[in-house]
Amino acid sequence: MEAKVIIVTEVKSNKSENNVWMVAITGEEQGQAYCKSPYKAMRFAFLLKKQTGFHIEDASLKALSAEIAKEKVASAESEAEKPAEQEAQTEVRPKKQRKPRAKKAEAESQALAQVAEQKGLIAFL
């Protein structure tokens, strides 16, 4: 009887033209799962390894590592281009100024002083 191994392969998706990663255990039909990214496939493979105790195929690990490295390089290049585009698109907007509360309080105290004068009361301010 062969030892069961966790394999990870890249397959074409039925729903879109993108490729997805299939994580499966050899000899089991129910142990299949599909992941959109190689990083998630690697995480799932290590989760299966922890739960089942089976080994992950070396060729699968190498392929996943290479694909993750490609994605990191591509994302680093795209991030380097984004700040230059964002600087050109960003507009400098003037900050909105709030009215100071002192003017509002001053207007209220003047209104109170007028009411006090009308009633003949002495106001201490």
Asked if residue 23 is part of any domain, the answer here is yes
Supply the range of the domain harboring residue 60. 5-81
Average pLDDT across the chain, whole number: 81
Asked if residue 17 is part of any domain, the answer here is yes
pLDDT range class, residue 123, cuts 50, 70, 90: very low
Q: Give the pair of three-digit tokens for residue 125.
A: 């301010």
pLDDT tens-digit profile of 8-29? 988 887 777 788 999 999 988 7
Q: Residue 35 in contact with residue 13, Cβ under 8 Å?
A: no
Higher pLDDT, 85 or 70: 70
Asked if residue 34 is part of any domain, the answer here is yes
Asked if residue 113 is part of any domain, the answer here is no
Picking from 59, 15, 10, the residue whose alpha carbon sits closest to that of residue 37 is: 10
- Residue 89 confidence (pLDDT): 62
DSSP assignment letter at 27: T
Residue 32 has pLDDT above 90, yes or no: no
Asked if residue 86 is part of any domain, the answer here is no
Asked if residue 41 is part of any domain, the answer here is yes
Instruction: State the total domains in the chain.
Output: 1
Asked if residue 97 is part of any domain, the answer here is no
Residue 98 has pLDDT above 80, yes or no: no
Asked if residue 57 is part of any domain, the answer here is yes
pLDDT tens-digit profile of 52-71? 899 999 999 999 999 999 98
Residue 98, CA distances (Å) to 53, 101, 105, 106 in order: 64, 9, 15, 16
Q: Which residues pair with 19 in a beta bridge?
A: 12
DSSP assignment letter at 98: P
